[in-house]
Amino acid sequence: MSTDTETGKAGPLFEDFLKEQGTYESTTEQAVKRVLAFQLTTAMKEQHISKVEMAKRLDTSRSQLDRLLDPNNNSVTLAVLARAAQAVGRTIKLELV
C-alpha cells in the first residue's frame, strides 16, 4: 500500500491500480493528450480564433485540425502539438519525473 501525499492516508492509489492493470502508460498518454486538446480549444476560444483561422495558422486543413483537437485521437505528434501551441502564443512544457 502507498501513502497518499495529499491526504496522508494509507491506501492504494489510482496510479498503483493502473500500474497493476498494465495500463498506466497508455492511460497517462491519453490523459495528457486530452488535456492538451482541451487547453488548445480553450486558448482558441479565449483569443476568438476560429477553426478555419487556426488551420491557416498551422498551414493545414480543417479536418486535420479536427483530428488534432480530438481528445480521443492519440496519433498526433509532439511536433504538431508544439506548432499548435505556438499558433496560440503558448508553449508545451514536458519534464521527466
Read off the pLDDT of residues 38-70 as tens digits, 9 standing for 90 and up. 999 999 999 999 999 999 999 999 999 999 999
- Whether 44 is in a domain gets the answer yes
Which has the higher per-residue pLDDT, 74 or 33?
A: 33
User: Which residue shows C-alpha cell 492519440?
Assistant: 74
Distance CA 97, CA 86 (A): 24
Share of the chain above pLDDT 70, in %: 89
- 23-43 pLDDT, tens digit per residue, is 888 788 888 888 999 999 999
What domain range is 16 assigned to? 11-87
User: Residue 58 and residue 42: Cα distance in Å, rounded?
Assistant: 17
What Å distances lie between residue 86 and 22, 57, 81, 90, 94, CA to CA?
Answer: 34, 10, 9, 5, 15
Total number of domains constituting the chain: 1
The CATH number given to whatever domain includes residue 68 is 1.10.260
- The pTM of this model reads 0.75
In the prediction, which pLDDT does 10 show? Answer: 53
Residue 95 placed within a domain: no
Determine, yes or no, domain membership for 54.
yes
